[in-house]
Amino acid sequence: MISKALLFRFESQTDEDTMDTFLEDLATDVSWEKTTRAWFGIRYMRGEFGVISNFEDEAGREAHLAGTAMANLVAAEHKLMTTAPRITKIDVLGSKMPAVLEGVTKGLVLRFKAKPGKEAEVAQILGIPDGYRQGVLLPTAYYTGETFKPAPRDPLDTVLHIDRW
């Protein structure tokens, strides 16, 4: 059960796309941490970002603070942030995680994104109507505790849209 967390809060001195990419890359570093149970890169408001990291115990929290993701966060301070991140240790009093995620320590997510400033052009080329957002999330496998297995998939005709919305 998750009982400990860390809250990181910082202000960006760069554009939002750069910070979004930084947090996505940081998520990759965190994915290798065995004791980090849940991790979220967040945007509070324009220019203000954060990270919430969750652990089962104090040892997990300390391992995260000594890990690669933390080192990369601190290293980015002078290039991406106006000041050092504010770090708060939190005790989690209650949590809810989907049962399917209990015990999962690894996963794989692929994300495709139009280059900054090219979203409208890509939407026009693909014929994406107003009100739809470009994005793809492809679950390709799940971790069984020992190896990866193919992820369950919905029927293709229910999730793939070709020439229609």
The 10s digit of each residue's pLDDT in 77-102 is 889 999 888 999 999 888 776 666 66
Contacts of 148 (CB under 8 A, 6+ apart): 106, 108, 141, 142
Among 3.90.1170.50, 3.30.1370.60, 3.40.50.10860, 3.30.70.100, name the CATH number for the domain at 1-94. Answer: 3.30.70.100
Read off the pLDDT of each residue in 21-26 and give the average, rounded to a whole number.
Answer: 88
For residue 65, pLDDT over 90 is answered with yes
Report the distance separating Cα 120 and Cα 131, nearest Å.
12
The 10s digit of each residue's pLDDT in 136-153 is 545 555 556 666 666 566
**What ranges do the domains of the chain cover?**
1-94, 103-165
For residue 61, pLDDT over 90 is answered with yes
* Other Cβ atoms within 10 Å of 13 Cβ, number: 15
- Round the average pLDDT of the chain to a whole number and report it: 78
Check residue 62 and give its pLDDT.
95
Cα angle vertex 99, ends 134, 146, to 5°? 90
98 Cα distance to chain centroid: 17
Q: What strands lie across the sheet with 86-91, from one edge to the other? A: 36-45, 48-55, 4-11, 86-91
Check residue 130 and give its pLDDT.
78
Angle between helices 68-75 and 58-65 (to 10 degrees): 50
